[in-house]
Every structure is written in C-alpha cells, then in structure tokens.
Amino acid sequence: MNNILVLSCLGVAALGSLLLVAGLVRRRWRDPRRLFTWEQKKTLLARAGHRCEHKPLLWSRCKATSELEADHVVPWSRGGPTQLWNGSVLCRRHNRRKSNRIPTAFYRWRLAQRR
C-alpha cells in the first residue's frame, strides 16, 4: 500500500514536470511595466478631479483628496496592463481594501460613466 502511494506521487510529479517542459501549461501574460509613470499619474489625477474615484452602490463618491494612489482597475497581478484606460485614482484606504480583486462589470461600467 505504501509503495503504491509513493509511486503514484512520483507519477504525478513526473507528469507535471513533463507538462511544464512541454509548454502545455501557459503562464499568464503580464505587462512588464508594473508602475504608472508620473505623466500617467498626472493624467489620471486630472481625469478624477484630484479626488478618490471609489463610489459605493448606495452612497456618494469618496471625498478624499489626500493620500491618493494610482491603481489598476484590473490588477496588474491578474494580468491588467499599466495603461491609462486601466487606471483609476483611489485613496489609500480604498486601494488597500480593493487589494487585487477585480471589480464587477457593473462597477467598471459606473466608473466609465462618471468619467
């Protein structure tokens, strides 16, 4: 019984190694540039009116005008490019709360409508 378990584990490891070597397991494309440039940040800030762009469904838009950060709408860690169409301005609190989650399509649509 113990030998069968060891052999099955070795078989799974060997199969995984073969798939990686053969290139059958694809790595997700990621933009090589992680951070927004200063010019992109200025454009994002001007588009947002130098104010946090977070707006909950039932309440008004966040009023924070300090500690603003450029954020990827679709997170960079999930394949979101570092381009202006994928950028937004969030205060530190909302940026930390969002983390690397992808906003819903409805949230992204509302963000586009406010711009």
pLDDT tens across the length of the chain (115 residues) = 666 766 666 666 666 666 555 555 555 666 778 899 999 999 999 999 999 999 888 889 999 999 999 999 999 999 999 999 999 999 999 999 999 999 999 989 988 888 7
Label residue 64 exposed, middle or buried (CB < 10 Å: 0-12, 13-18, 19+).
middle
Task: Give the distance between the most distant pair of CA atoms in the chain.
Answer: 67
Q: What is the pTM of this model?
A: 0.69
